[in-house]
Amino acid sequence: MTTVVIVGAGPTGLTLACGLARQGVDVRIVEKAAEFHTGSRGKTLNPRSLEILADLGIGERLAAVGRTHLPYRKYFAGEFADETDPFAGAGADTTAPYPVSLWMPQTRVERLLRERLAEHGVTVELATELVGFTQDEAEVEVHLAGGGRISADYLVACDGGRSAVRKLLGIPFVGEGQEQPTLVCGDVEVEGLEPTAWHQWFGPEGVFMLCPFEGTRRWQLQASPETDADGLTVAPSLESFQRLAARHTGREDLRISRATWLSTWRINVRMAERYREGRVFLAGDSAHVHPVAGGLGMNTGIQDAWNLAWKLGYVLRGLAAPALLDSYQEERLPIAAWTLDVSSAGLAAVARGITTPGIGVEAGRVADVTGLSLGYRWSRLADDRLGGPLQAGDRAPDAVRPGAGPAGAPARLFDLFTGDHFTLLGFGPGARPALTGLPDFVRAVAIDDRDDETRRAYGITGDALVLVRPDHHVALTAPATGREDVMTYLAALERS
């Protein structure tokens, strides 16, 4: 029997599959499309997603094909208005290995995740469509088009905003949307522009934007739709894109060609009422959809999968009781609600700025474009006994540790988090006794007097214990004498 079936092979499903497969979980990932998507779609990975994907083993591969800085070159009514780089001031940050976002098309992210998944012995099953399922207390039986059946312990829907799984479950997708498209989109080739900036034309007629991708001739086009004489939206096409380019830029030398991934985007702000029904879970767009402002879509899905992967793995490996899975909705549903709120506000800000010279998509930046501040202090898995600036539920900071690497070289704390184990940080000599006799799934790390940077990052001045979850969030903070607190916390996982 397959242990977990994942429906949908986008970034969410692939991240989840990688996170499970590396724990030795038997996983199948099915995709109803006959071929992998070729459209660029999402185009940025924020620093939190980069941490996750690096933990899964593709950090260097991503860095080799993405770009970290992309100026926003802004025009108004066809004339140059301003140029800014939103991440120009972001320098090295010892508490985060990736201080800025990485620009790359979603297709590249998916390809690298598929390659990593294949290294674990799992491949995506194309042209494999879920048409139904049944479940009971013991298993889920997935029904495939053509009559195939898969028996599994759990089913996870990563099949997008029109999720077949969510609809079959009857889970309400609460929110609102618009019938008329707000943007037309496409992947194109461009002559007449430097591929060193994201070109953004704003003005009374709307918006027209061209974003280049590193190492390719492809650009992503996003624009206010063209309308016909009756005010109806014209379907996206190369000819329409060329007319829009001429209208918004006023330039005869700018040429659009080789248009692919012709698409429209409609405002749709919705969230599932719940993320779980028995042995079936929702993640990514199947659980929430929201405006494009802030670039949170692909990132939120990846982070859903990261939260769920270690929990499913621990339950299936016998390290935790099934009740641990209840914390997935408890932690991630409020994050989705925040995402819908801030992206909606961001889109409204961009809309207001369309008629203002020098305003571009920067107007839609959300409060945290990095994802590093998002945590779960409200969670049942958060046990804070120190009350410091860093609390249980928060993302655990990175730090550079002098002399901790090979031959006395500096090493990053995050390198010790990599994998599927808990990490117990023992600050000071008083914490040393707590670092012994731990379960096999806990790695003990002594923080000594040289680790001033780690102390600053964690806000700890004396001796203390900090237990970090497999997903890099703080599980427990306790005094140095709190070994029993740690052991009680870990034991509770098995009976929760």
Collect contacts of 208-216 with beta carbons under 8 A, ≥24 apart.
208/244, 208/245, 208/247, 208/248, 208/249, 209/361, 211/43, 211/70, 212/70, 213/40, 213/43, 213/103, 213/104, 213/105, 214/65, 214/66, 214/67, 214/103, 214/104, 215/65
> Any alpha helices (H) in 5-105, and if so which ranges?
11-21, 47-55, 59-65
CA distance 310 to 317: 10
What are the backbone angles phi and psi of residue 153, rounded to the nearest 5°?
-75, -40
Q: What is the pLDDT, as a whole number, of residue 169?
A: 97
Please tell me the distance from the alpha carbon of residue 449 to that of residue 267, in angstroms, as a whole number. 53
SS (H, E, C) 218-287: EEEEEECCCECCCCCECCCCHHHHHHHHHHHHCCCCCEEEEEEEEEEECCEEEEECCCEECCEEECHHHC
Domains of the chain with CATH codes: 2-66+104-176+268-364 (3.50.50.60), 67-96+179-266 (3.30.9.10), 383-495 (3.40.30.20)
Give pTM, 2 decimals: 0.96
Q: What is the structure's pLDDT at 12?
A: 98
List 393's β-bridge partners, or say none: none
Token readout for 191 is 């002559």
Instruction: Give me 130's structure tokens.
Output: 């879920």
How many residues in total does the chain contain? Answer: 496
Non-local (6+) Cβ contacts of 345 within 8 A are 293, 366
Conformation bin of residue 30: beta by default, left when phi > 0, alpha when psi is -120 to 50: beta
As a whole number of Å, the CA-based R_g of the chain is 24
pLDDT at residue 493, as a whole number: 95
pLDDT tens over the chain, length 496 residues: 579 999 999 999 999 999 999 999 999 999 999 999 999 999 999 999 999 999 999 999 999 999 998 999 999 988 999 998 887 766 667 888 998 999 999 999 999 999 999 999 999 999 999 999 999 999 999 999 999 999 999 999 999 999 999 999 999 999 988 878 889 999 999 999 999 999 999 988 899 999 999 888 999 999 999 988 888 889 999 999 999 999 999 998 999 999 999 999 888 899 999 999 999 999 999 999 987 766 778 999 999 999 999 999 999 999 999 999 999 999 999 999 988 888 878 777 777 777 777 777 776 666 677 889 999 999 999 999 999 999 999 999 999 988 777 887 888 999 999 999 999 999 999 999 999 999 999 999 999 878 899 999 999 999 999 999 999 999 999 999 999 999 999 999 987 5
How far apart are alpha carbons 133 and 6 in whole angstroms? 13
The SS3 call for residue 166 is helix
Say which residues have a Cβ less than 8 Å from residue 438's Cβ, sequence separation at least 6.
424, 444, 486, 490
> DSSP code of 384?
E
